[in-house]
Structure 1
């Protein structure tokens, strides 16, 4: 059980940042995975009063506040129109509606969890994060950075021309994924993002041009086989490394074929 000694509802990002510089401080998101931890938290910092719970859409981008919930992502009409419904597909099996009403985008992205559907989805697009001190950083760069004491303020998705497919294999609905996969054509460039390997999601770009001539049964099969050769996988209670490698092949192929039909 987690023991919180001091709770503060921050009045500004600067206040939250300063409080978070103490090693025993903790930023509160939805408190869904965090509450399962044990130990003492000196100061729990709540960002719910800072207006970070909205999705703002402009002609060029989506700006998603750190306190936006996964349920808001699931139901946002503009985001789902842009992603061809894949934003909703990616999160709809994350535990249940009650969970998604509390789980935050900021917590999901900051955690960089190996099982994250959210990170896999966002890496498939032209996505950046805004850090309070670190500024705007490409999500792929951020995902590889070590944890520090900065604040994640918002996620920014730039509206590049996009075709996107999201695939996941679960042992049962609402369980954590055995493997997840997003295949995208972003501004004419193909990529596949593989998560729940069981490691953190990784991005593969079609640098060999397997899909450059168009998506067919043969090119999709070749892209899936190539991806399976590139992605390191591991074993845990949900599946073996060999099974996950097989799933990389299958899900990337399926994702590519779905793109071909868009």
Structure 2
């Protein structure tokens, strides 16, 4: 049972940050994960009055406020066009529309949940996390930072030429993913993000072009995704770079096999 002693709708990020320094005070994002737990919260800190529920698109980036719901990023025309539907695909299986109208981007990213589709897809893009105290941190660095009492303000996704695909495997349509996979190509590199292993997403990056990728040992020339044999070998190698665990949804060996299949399919879909 969730017990909240005091509720505060803050008027500034500074007020929220100061309140959040106390151990038993907690930020309310969407609240959908928090309410499941059996815990007592001294002060629940509500950020909903700070205007952090907006998606701003400029010529150079998307700025996604921490209180933006998953439903909003699912419906956003600009994000859909930029990612060729990958953002929409990453969230459309998450429980249902009612749930996605509550769950927030900030809660999904800050929680760094092992099952997070949202973390997996944003990790495959050039994403920066804006923290109130620590400032701008790349998402690649943020996923390994210790949990603290900072506040996630927004995500900044750089707009640059990109090809990206997202796929997942689920036992049932609206359940947590067994494996989540995002593959992208930008800045002359291939980026492979695998989540739900069942720990949080990790990233493997390989240079494209004339150089030989570290570890894989073969060049990935332009149009490599059309070479089925090369893609199959690459997908198997990428899947081997991640660690996997077992839980009631799937075993480690099964997850590894599925990851290789999803990576191969995602790479092949980049040529379309």
TM-based fold match above 0.5 = yes
Give 1:187 shift. Answer: 2.3
Mapped partners of 2:250, 2:136: distance in 1? 36
Whether the 8 Å contact between 1:210 and 1:223 is mirrored in structure 2 is no
TM-score by length of 2: 0.94
Whether the 8 Å contact between 1:211 and 1:223 is mirrored in structure 2 is no
Give 1:156 shift. Answer: 0.4
SS in structure 2 of the partner of residue 212 of structure 1: coil
Give 1:211 shift. Answer: 3.1
Q: Does 1:39 align with 2:39?
A: yes
In the alignment, which residue of structure 1 is the partner of 2:27?
27
Mapped partners of 2:32, 2:189: distance in 1? 36
In the alignment, which residue of structure 1 is the partner of 2:221?
212
SS in structure 2 of the partner of residue 164 of structure 1: strand
Mapped partners of 1:77, 1:260: distance in 2? 22
Mapped partners of 1:129, 1:218: distance in 2? 37
Mapped partners of 2:236, 2:11: distance in 1? 51
Give 1:252 shift. Answer: 0.4
Where do residues 180-191 of structure 1 align in structure 2 (5 Å cutoff)?
Answer: 180-191=180-191
Whether the 8 Å contact between 1:211 and 1:220 is mirrored in structure 2 is no
Task: Give the counterpart of 2:242 among 227, 231, 246.
Answer: 231
Give 1:260 shift. Answer: 2.2
Number of equivalenced pairs: 261
In the alignment, which residue of structure 2 is the partner of 1:158?
158
Mapped partners of 1:258, 1:187: distance in 2? 19
Mapped partners of 1:201, 1:156: distance in 2? 18
Give 1:51 shift. Answer: 0.3
Unaligned runs of 5+ in 2: 207-212
Quickly say closer, same or farther: Cα 1:210–1:103, change in 2 above 3 A. farther
Mapped partners of 1:36, 1:258: distance in 2? 37
SS in structure 2 of the partner of residue 84 of structure 1: coil
Q: Does 1:221 align with 2:232?
A: yes
In the alignment, which residue of structure 1 is the partner of 2:63?
63
In the alignment, which residue of structure 2 is the partner of 1:54?
54
Mapped partners of 1:220, 1:253: distance in 2? 6
Whether the 8 Å contact between 1:190 and 1:211 is mirrored in structure 2 is no
Give 1:229 shift. Answer: 1.4
Mapped partners of 2:92, 2:219: distance in 1? 31
Whether the 8 Å contact between 1:4 and 1:40 is mirrored in structure 2 is yes
Residue deviations 1:86-139, cap 9 Å, x none?
110000000000000000000000000000000000000000110001000000
Where do residues 61-210 of structure 1 align in structure 2 (5 Å cutoff)?
Answer: 61-206=61-206, 207=213, 208=216, 209=218
Task: Give the counterpart of 1:256 among 242, 254, 267.
Answer: 267
TM-score by length of 1: 0.98
Whether the 8 Å contact between 1:120 and 1:193 is mirrored in structure 2 is yes
Unaligned runs of 5+ in 1: none
Mapped partners of 2:39, 2:169: distance in 1? 33
Mapped partners of 2:49, 2:240: distance in 1? 47
Mapped partners of 1:96, 1:26: distance in 2? 26
